[in-house]
Amino acid sequence: MTPHFLGITRERVYSPGKVDADRAILEAVAAELGSSHRVAVVSGDDPLPAVAPPTIVFAMCQGPSALDALRRWEVAGVRVVNSAAAIGNTHRRRMLAAFERHGIAHPPSVLLSTATSVAANGLPEWIETGAWLKRGDVHATEPGDVVYVEGRTAIAAGLAAMRGRGISAALLQRHVAGDVIKFYAVRGRFFACFPAAPAAVDDVDRAAMNRLAEAGAAALDLEVFGGDCVRDRQGNLWLIDLNDWPSYAPCRSGASLAIASYLRTPTS
């Protein structure tokens, strides 16, 4: 039987300023699959059916109700890319634990409670040289979700702002000076990277970034993913963040072909 593919778009709240770009990659994958299969695309903002569809699901959704539906479908035997567990693993509090457990190179980081005082949180000395304060669950939904801070006063203010918005945990990550490089990948078959500054990325660097990205994704069980790494002044690579289903805006054509091919490939 010809597989029926179901795509689920990302909820608008999780696509700040990128609703059209995020939807574009999903629709590009759907168009590629549609040349030989039945494909439907639904919105992650709408209620998903309780009954598992006879499909292979490719999901950008991130909200609690959508993830609950994905979990039910997975129990019923539906293949979901990325899985609900993998999407949840990108929450920074889980990501940090997974990176440390699997030995993934990442900047020194600590998880903080927004309800606890800065003194009680026991901050490391490196906060005085600069750090990034990031909400501990989903990735950015507004500018205040990721802020640069220096010293205890700035950190206390950032934690208070997050607490006021109902965010219970935050990740404090040491700032690493160097070249920030954004990457996009599909497990085992596609990798593209783009430096934020006009810094050369040679084949050796690209291969090393690919290995680091794949290792980080494996730690989170991600299959379709992107993120950011930084190459410090000594040439070391650090994985800053990993996201499920990025927009792939700089490489959408090649990425959509790779994702569609990945989805068509039977799992063992």
Q: Are strands 79-81 and 55-59 parallel, antiparallel or unpaired?
A: parallel
Residue ranges of E strands in the chain? 4-8, 38-42, 55-59, 79-81, 109-113, 131-135, 146-149, 169-174, 178-186, 190-195, 224-232, 237-244
Residue-by-residue DSSP string for 254-267: HHHHHHHHHHHSPP
State residue 17's pLDDT score. 83
Whether 59 and 90 have beta carbons less than 8 Å apart is answered as no
| pLDDT average, residue stretch 148-171 | 90
Map residue 15 onto helix, strand or coil.
Answer: coil
Render pLDDT for 193-238 as a digit per residue (tens, 0 to 9).
998 776 678 888 899 999 999 999 999 999 999 999 999 999 999 9
Residues 2/39, Cβ–Cβ less than 8 Å:
no
CA 34/CA 57 separation, integer angstroms: 14
Q: What is the pLDDT of residue 1?
A: 44
Architecture in CATH for domain 108-174? 2-Layer Sandwich (3.30)
**Domain 4-82 is of which CATH architecture?**
3-Layer(aba) Sandwich (3.40)
Q: Are 184 and 257 in contact (CB under 8 A)?
A: no
230, 181 contact by CB (below 8 A)? yes
Between CA 7 and CA 64 the distance in angstroms is 17
Same fold, 4-82 and 108-174: no
- pLDDT digit string (tens) for 147-156? 999 988 898 8
Find residue 211's DSSP bridge partners: none
Give the span between the Cα atoms of 155 and 132, in whole angstroms.
Answer: 9
In this structure, are residues 150 and 215 in contact, taking their beta carbons and an 8 Å threshold?
no
- Locate the domains of the chain by residue range: 4-82, 108-174, 178-244
**What is the Cα–Cα distance from 61 to 43, expressed in whole angstroms?**
8
Question: What whole-number distance in Å separates Cα of residue 36 and Cα of residue 31?
Answer: 10
Q: Tell me, what's the pLDDT at 266?
A: 84
Q: E strand or H helix at 213, and its extent?
A: helix 203-220
pTM of the model: 0.91
